[in-house]
Amino acid sequence: MSRKKNESIMIGDQIEVKIIAIEGELVRIGIEAPRSVQVHRKEVFDAIREENQLASRQKVDWSAFKQFLPSDKKPIE
């Protein structure tokens, strides 16, 4: 697919990717998408995914949360 300056492509019926400028090897794009759609550069997306994977592997020290629980309440049975 080829696009020139000020031309767009549509992804579905709600996401528009528009070529804003072409300067040598640099292409500036604009993206219009619903706020519910996350839009990231690939390297940022990869970093977020890696951080999430690392966080999901870490063990949680639940004893640290005890300090936030009121001690005068009876446990729920």
Ordered mean pLDDT values, 10 residues apiece, the chain (77 residues): 95 97 96 96 95 85 76 63
The whole-angstrom separation of Cα 39 and Cα 28 is 15
Q: What is the per-residue pLDDT for 73? A: 59
Q: What is the per-residue pLDDT for 47? A: 95
The whole-angstrom separation of Cα 15 and Cα 47 is 23
User: Got the DSSP string for the chain?
Assistant: ----TT-EEEETTTEEEEEEEEETTEEEEEEE--TTS----HHHHHHHHHHHHHHHHSPP-GGGGGGGS-TTSPPP-
Q: What is the per-residue pLDDT for 7? A: 97
Q: What is the per-residue pLDDT for 55? A: 86
